Amino acid sequence: MQESERNTVDIADVPMDALRKLVEYLYTGVVEDASIGFQDLCDLYYAADKYEVTGLRNRCGNTLLSSVAADTAMQILQLADSHSDQDLKSGTLEFIRLNLESVTSTDAWESCTKSTPNLAAQLLRKRAQRKLKKKPYPYIHSRVKTL
Distance of alpha carbon 79 from alpha carbon 58, whole angstroms: 13
Phi and psi angles of residue 49, each rounded to the nearest 5 degrees, phi first: -70, -45
Q: What is the pLDDT of residues 103-141, one digit of tens each?
A: 999 999 999 888 988 888 888 787 777 666 665 555 554
What is the pLDDT at residue 82? 95
pLDDT mean over 44-72: 96
CB under 8 Å, gap of 24 or more: what pairs does 90-96 form?
Answer: 91/65, 92/65, 92/68, 93/122, 93/123, 93/126, 95/65, 95/68, 96/123
Q: Is the pTM of this model over 0.75?
A: yes
Asked if residue 92 lies in contact with residue 77, where contact means CB atoms within 8 angstroms, the answer is yes
Please count the CA atoms within 13 angstroms of the CA of 42 that sit on its side-chain side.
Answer: 16
Q: Are 93 and 77 in contact (CB under 8 A)?
A: yes
Residues belonging to the chain: 147
Give the pLDDT of residue 147: 43
